[in-house]
Amino acid sequence: MKQNLRIKYLLEKLTNKSLHKNELEELKEALKNEELLEDILEESFNNQDQVHYLDKNNLKKSVWEAIEKRIESKQNQVKIITYNYKWIAALFIIALGVSFFFQKNNSSSLVEIANNDILPKTIQMPDGSKITLRENSRISYHEKFATNRNLTLTGEAFFEVKRDSLYPFSVKADEVTTRVLGTSFTVKTNDSITKISVNTGLVSVQNSSKKEFLRPDELAIFNRKHNTFYKGKTKAVAHNLWAMEQVSFKEITLLELSEVFKTLYEKEIIFSNEDLKAKKLYAFYIKRNESLEKLIDRINYINEVELKNYNNDIRITAKL
């Protein structure tokens, strides 16, 4: 059974043109085992509805033609499968699933996950990555996600992506695509903007007209309404506080702290003096479920500024 799964895995890598040289040799050796082939073929025919109305001999021929197209680019490299192995390879491809070759665009069923709760929802993806969905957010992706790591996001999510150099991980949020190999970052999209902030690793973000690379503690904001793009520095963790119980900062400026108020309380900060933006808080912690009033009281008690909460914003002034 384990050998069957290994062979199917190698054939799937062959179809995706990602098979390494040593794996090619392993596959060639496995193709010589006719008893194993018949076992896999029988299993495949029992599991595939399509073969009940397809002539099996013609099916082998059609599937092999599909294989040949997929290995054209390797003609000048190691020869993957000799002529004598063609029919055997066809059996293996059938074992992967006839529909893999004959359905339009190699499509698989879409999986959709939504978070309609107040609390964040954690999702463990098939490739080992982890996604935390904020309330009123959703993702959709193909069920064969391990080899097609593309998903669509509506709302906001924090991504912790397992590295895979063969299959980049991409998130489409409206017209903006974020692509990584393995890293952690937050994507937020609404009616007017798409915002990406990076916690670890290197991230590529692009739309139809612009492409940028982001590093840790950098963010990009695409504003659809004004057709503008902004890239700058930030405290990335401030953008995904909603996904954590508590975060501690060795130091944080009041300007960086203003992002916390936007993230957790949807409040804008108004500074009475531009110089106040650079003032810092040290050894400061923030709890996700802390009330706005309590957070303001803590800041006012330990710092030389005063925060006042108004209906639509929070205003910061220097203490006299």
pLDDT digits (tens, 9 = 90+) for 177-223: 999 988 999 999 998 999 999 999 999 999 888 899 999 999 999 99
Give whichever of 6-20, 120-134, 260-274 has the largest mean pLDDT: 120-134
195, 228 in Cβ contact below 8 A? no
**Separation between Cα atoms, residue 189 and residue 172, nearest integer Å:** 10
Query: Rounded to the nearest 5 degrees, what angle is found at the Cα of 46, between the Cα atoms of 41 and 51?
Result: 80
Domains of the chain plus CATH, in order, are 2-105 (no CATH), 110-237 (2.60.120.1440), 245-318 (3.55.50.30)
pLDDT at 176 exceeding the cut of 90: yes
pLDDT category of residue 162 using cuts at 50, 70 and 90: very high
117, 135 in Cβ contact below 8 A? yes
Strand partners, 171: 151, 178
H or E element that contains 307: strand 305-309
Closest residue by Cα to residue 229 from 209, 215, 214, 259: 209
Does residue 31 or residue 91 have the better pLDDT?
31
What confidence score (pLDDT) does residue 100 get? 46
Helix, strand, or coil (residue 100) = helix
